[in-house]
Amino acid sequence: MIRVLLADDQALVRAGFRALLGAQPGIEVAGEASDGEEAWGLVGELRPDVVLMDIRMPRLDGLAATRRITEDPELDGVRVVMLTTFELDEYVFEAIRSGASGFLVKDAEPEELIRAVRAVVEGDALLSPGVTRRLIAEFAARSKEPAHAFALQALTEREREVMALVGMGLSNEEIARRLVVSPLTAKTHVSRTMVKLGARDRAQLVVMAYESGLVRPGWLG
C-alpha cells in the first residue's frame, strides 16, 4: 500500500486529490496538512511514502518543508512531489536542489497524478521535458567551475555515459535507443549509478551530472 500525505493550503485541492487517490487500488491518503509546518510534523508521525507538497503555503513554505524532510536520514524513504500552478515555476531549480523527486502541475490529468505517485515510489523522477529544460537553463545561468566530481570514479564508463544522458533529459527508452540496448538494461544502468552515487532518485542524478561537470549546459546547443 502506497501511503500519501497531501500538503496544500487549499482545502478544495486536498479534497479533490483525496477523492481521486483514495479510489485507487494500492493507494491510501494517510493525512492532510494545510501548511509546511503541519506537513513536516505529519511526515515524522505518519512516515508516508509520498508527499504531494504545494510550493506556496503559509508558516513554512513547501521548499523549506522539503529540505527538512530530505535532510533527515530517518525519512530517507519519503519522496516529495512538488505541486505547482505552472510547470515552469520560478522555484523549480531550488525545489530539485532541495531534494524534491519531481513536479506536478495542479491541473494535471487524473491519470498523470496516479502515475506520478507510483513512479516516485519506484525511484523514478517526475521531470517533464519542460522542467528539464528549465533546470538546464538555471544551471547554465548559475554554473561556474564544476564542483568536486562526487564519486564518479566509482562508475564504469557505461554508467558515466548513462548518467550524462540522464543529465541531458533523456528517458530510459531514449537512452536505450541511443546506446542500442534494451530499456530494461538502460533502467538497470541508471539504477546502479544512483546507488553508487547515493542519489535519492533520477532528479538528484540530473543535478549531480551538472555539478560534477560530467555534463555542461552548452552541450545541448
Q: What pLDDT does 58 receive?
A: 86
Q: What pLDDT does 112 receive?
A: 83
Q: Give the integer Cα–Cα distance in Å for 39 and 2.
A: 17
State the cell numbers at 154. 566509482
In degrees to the nearest 10, what's the CA dihedral of 129, 81, 173, 169?
Answer: 40
Q: At 221, is the pLDDT very low, low, confident or very high (cuts 50, 70, 90)?
A: very low
Of the two residues 178 and 100, the one the predictor is more confident about is: 178
Q: What pLDDT does 219 receive?
A: 45
90: phi then psi, degrees, rounded to nearest 5: -65, -15
List b or e across 26-53, with b for residues whose CB sees 16 or more CB atoms inside 10 angstroms.
Answer: ebebbbbbbbbbbbbebbeeeebbbbbb
Section 166-181 average pLDDT:
87
Strand partners, 79: 50
Q: What pLDDT does 49 receive?
A: 95
Instruction: Check pLDDT > 50 for residue 3.
Output: yes
Q: At 220, is the pLDDT very low, low, confident or very high (cuts 50, 70, 90)?
A: very low
pLDDT digits (tens, 9 = 90+) for 6-62: 999 999 999 999 999 999 999 999 999 999 999 999 999 999 999 999 988 888 889
Q: What pLDDT does 78 receive?
A: 93
pLDDT digits (tens, 9 = 90+) for 64-117: 999 999 889 899 889 999 887 765 556 777 777 778 887 887 887 888 888 888
Given a contact cutoff of 8 angstroms between Cβ atoms, the answer to whether 212 and 150 are in contact is yes
Of the two residues 130 and 38, the one the predictor is more confident about is: 38
List b or e across 71-98, with b for residues whose CB sees 16 or more CB atoms inside 10 angstroms.
Answer: eeeebeebbbbbbbeeeebebbbebbbb
**What are the residues whose beta carbons fall under 8 Å from the beta carbon of 62, sequence distance 6 or more?**
7, 36, 39, 53, 54, 55, 56, 82, 83, 95
